[in-house]
Copies of this chain bind each other. A is one copy, B any other.
Amino acid sequence: MPPSIPADAAHASPLTQPTAGPGGEERFQRSDLAQEVAFLTARARGRGNALANRLLSDLGLKVRPFAVLAMACSGTNPSQRELSGFLDLDPSQVVALVDMLEARGAIRRETDPRDRRSKILVATEAGLELYAQAVQRTREAEEQTLHALSPAERDQLRELLAKVVF
């Protein structure tokens, strides 16, 4: 067996140290990609989403329906169009989510008297209760997701992200 040192050097045979580090992924943390905010953000949202979905599952909810419910419970009386914009969802996706939550009796559609084309979402009593339960789960998810950050750092992160997206 040859000493596993191929002849050419440039970029043809980087098989010299395939799995160098311990066993983890620390090896990748210095890559260009790992420095991109976009990558870090995607990873954070992926992890957070997965955890939140898990914690919400016993309520028969996922993150998306939760967001719609939360807005219906917010007292801001959003229309579906506004929700579509605020939650970055296609109008047709909002329809599906609202259908589901309305079928569960958590929210109601009320046609806006000012503009009878649009439907305003309002929470039912049951919806408010469901939301109260769900919020506990998402708070726990946030707690776990951000456990590496101090309270001050969490506020910092929240404010920086708010600056970015608003």
Interfacial residues, chain A to chain B (CB-CB below 8 A): 4, 11-19, 25, 27-29, 31-49, 52, 63, 67, 70-71, 73-79, 82, 85-86, 88, 110, 112-115, 118, 120, 122-125, 128, 135, 138, 141-142, 145-146, 148-149, 153-154, 156-158, 160-166
Q: Which of B11, B79, B110, B166 contacts A125 (CB 8 A)?
A: B11
Give the secondary structure class of A's interface. Answer: helix
Is there an interface contact between B28 and A138, defined as CB atoms closer than 8 Å? no
Is there an interface contact between A4 and B113, defined as CB atoms closer than 8 Å? yes
Ordered by A's residue number, 24 sampled pairs between the chains whose C-beta atoms are within 8 Å are A11-B123, A16-B77, A17-B77, A18-B77, A18-B115, A19-B79, A19-B115, A28-B71, A28-B82, A31-B71, A31-B74, A36-B142, A37-B157, A38-B45, A38-B63, A40-B165, A41-B41, A42-B48, A42-B63, A145-B164, A148-B163, A149-B160, A153-B163, A157-B157
